[in-house]
Amino acid sequence: MTIIQRFLNADLVPRLLAILVGVPCLYVITERGGLFFLLLVNLIIVLGLSEFFQIMEAKGYRPSRWLGYSAALLVSWHAYFGGPTLTLVITGILLLIMIREVFRPQVTRALTNMSVTVLGIMYVGWLLSHFVMLRELEPTLGARLVYFGALVIWACDTMAYVVGILFGRRKLVPHISPAKTWAGALGGVLGGALAGWLCCITFLGTITPLAGALLGLACAILGQFGDLVESLLKRDAGIKDSAQLIPGHGGILDRVDSLLFTIPVVFYWFRFMVL
């Protein structure tokens, strides 16, 4: 297959249309912040958790869906409003999930049912809640930090995609993601570092360009692991995409899998090392 054929077979038109429609909407809501941004994250949590539970159900597990949704949303609302009640929320969630299994007519897979419910809450609900904490970290800086994380991952994905098509030969982890190559992974890391550097010389002057490049590099590496983890879950369940919600992009999880691993890094970097 030639390079031109690879690009033509990559569904570029629906991908670009989804970006042209979605990015301005996300920008406006991120700039507005507050409850508008919280509700946007809540929507992403519900859709992403639904896809995660669908993957688990394809494996034959029976997660407690509504307990999972409620718990994940509670975690995100705690991330917004704060307060000393997080331990109470987590304790109540765990107790309810375990009590729920007592009332199932079948006892088989009780352990895995409880485990995948908790994993979904933490993997989707808790990690995505870092978007809220990052946006609320500082009134004027929060939005720029969200843009930093998103732009680094966009640059990583774009460079990995282009470099992989042009130069990718040796597969990275073919048993998990046959399309990914070592060349693409390296291109993604370099793209993330470059994006971090550019962000710091344009709109994010809180840290030096060198620190931005290093943070971008770390985010690009972890972001690719986030992508691989979701691919691992789908591969184990025998499905290709978590959903077909976004044309050319798959489901919500397919879009935020990298951010699940990188936004917490950006948050804790600035929370403990900068602010």
Q: How does pLDDT run across 144-164, given as a tens digit for each residue?
A: 999 999 999 999 999 999 999
Does the pLDDT value for residue 53 go beyond 80?
yes
What's the pLDDT band for 17 if we cut at 50, 70, 90? low
Mean pLDDT of 7-29: 67
Give pLDDT, residue 107.
83
Q: How does pLDDT run across 113-144, given as a tens digit for each residue?
A: 999 999 999 999 999 999 999 999 988 899 99
Q: Percent of the chain having pLDDT more than 70?
A: 88
In 3D space, the residue among 114, 90, 92 whose CA is nearest the CA of residue 103 turns out to be 114
What's the pLDDT band for 96 if we cut at 50, 70, 90? very high
Average confidence score pLDDT of the chain: 89
Residues in Cβ contact with 248 at an 8 Å cutoff, skipping those fewer than 6 apart: 11, 12, 13, 14, 15, 16, 17, 18
Rounded alpha-carbon distances, angstroms, from residue 259 to 77, 87, 124, 215: 19, 25, 11, 14
Rounded distance between C-alpha atoms, residue 10 and residue 166, angstroms:
13
Mean pLDDT of 167-171: 91
Q: What is the DSSP letter of 211?
A: H
Among the residues of the chain, which ranges form H helices?
3-8, 12-32, 34-58, 65-81, 86-102, 110-120, 127-135, 141-167, 182-202, 209-237, 252-273
Chain centroid to CA 18:
17
Mean pLDDT of 169-175: 92
Chain centroid to CA 267:
14
Rounded distance between C-alpha atoms, residue 205 and residue 117, angstroms:
41
In 3D space, the residue among 241, 221, 223, 218 whose CA is nearest the CA of residue 231 turns out to be 241
Between residues 155 and 274, which one has the greater pLDDT? 155
Does the pLDDT value for residue 229 go beyond 90?
yes
Between residues 265 and 247, which one has the greater pLDDT? 265
Of the ranges 94-108, 167-181, 189-203, the best mean pLDDT one:
189-203
Q: At 180, which helix (H) or strand (E)?
A: strand 177-181
Mean pLDDT of 184-194: 97
What's the pLDDT band for 108 if we cut at 50, 70, 90? confident
Rounded alpha-carbon distances, angstroms, from residue 28 to 32, 37, 123, 128, 162: 6, 9, 26, 19, 29
Give pLDDT, residue 241.
67
In the numeric block, which tokens belong to residue 136? 């609320």
Does the pLDDT value for residue 112 go beyond 90?
yes
User: Look-up: residue for tokens 């990583």?
Assistant: 156
Chain centroid to CA 69:
17
Mean pLDDT of 223-247: 83
In 3D space, the residue among 227, 223, 246 whose CA is nearest the CA of residue 22 turns out to be 246
